[in-house]
Amino acid sequence: MKLVWSPETASKAYIDTVKSCSNFNESSVAEVVSAMAAGWNARVVVETWSHGGAVAISIGLAVAAHHTGGRHICIVPDEESRSEYVEAMRKLGHPADVIVGRPEEAMQGLEGVDLAVVDGRRNDFGCLLRAARLGQRGAVLICKNAAAADFRWRSVLDGKSRIVKSVFLPVGDGLDIAHIGSAGGGRSRWIKHVDRRSGDEFLIRK
């Protein structure tokens, strides 16, 4: 099994997030992240948040979890942050599933993470990603505010995960996204295919 993209679910989450975040004067980061989470059918979604932060992305992830029937979890460092976050989400009509504690320790208690969102402005975002117990189907890792972070995915993950591909999107202050391969996926291989009509040969990567 591996994560399979569903454009229909991604589109629904994107549109619903646009509606839910209509009062936020921000870029379309929340909508993009929501579409990614819903489109890849992420069942366990994790993010970090702290006192004074915006909740637009959290709304987007909550919307995505609604469409996938998954769980959206937010890790906060202290009780002050928890109270502020829960109240902000409540006012916007979304219940909050919050864990209080050090991000890497909290992450170790979660299994099968399909999608994780971290903040590139935090010095500890790499620790959180390395501590993540990713799902057997693979995972999607998203670093927001990535323009402020100078890093490479392979270095951040210490080579422990198989990175299928990564892409930087110039949305907001930058989104750097890495797709992690499913467990036991192995290396890709090339298969030769010959078109019977034209006789042309093609190499297909599987």
- 22 vs 35, more confident: 35
Residue located via tokens 């295919």: 193
Q: With contact defined as beta carbons under 8 Å apart, do 84 and 112 qualify?
A: no
- 32 vs 192, more confident: 32
H-run or E-run covering 196: none
Q: With contact defined as beta carbons under 8 Å apart, do 181 and 138 qualify?
A: yes
Please report the pLDDT score of residue 170 as a whole number.
92
DSSP state of 181: P
Mean pLDDT for the stretch of residues 182-201: 58
pLDDT averaged over every residue in the chain: 87
The pLDDT tens digits of the residues spanning 136-190 come to 999 999 999 998 887 888 888 877 788 999 999 999 999 999 999 987 655 555 4
The pLDDT tens digits of the residues spanning 42-67 come to 999 999 999 999 999 999 999 999 99
Q: With contact defined as beta carbons under 8 Å apart, do 124 and 102 qualify?
A: no
Please report the pLDDT score of residue 199 as a whole number.
58
- Rounded Cα–Cα distance for residues 7 and 10 (Å): 5
Share of the chain above pLDDT 90, in %: 64
Would the pLDDT of 112 be above 90?
yes
Please report the pLDDT score of residue 65 as a whole number.
97
Please report the pLDDT score of residue 161 as a whole number.
85
pTM listed for this prediction:
0.85
Would the pLDDT of 201 be above 70?
no
Q: How confident is the model at residue 128 (pLDDT cuts 50, 70, 90)?
A: confident
- Rounded Cα–Cα distance for residues 186 and 176 (Å): 24
Please report the pLDDT score of residue 155 as a whole number.
82
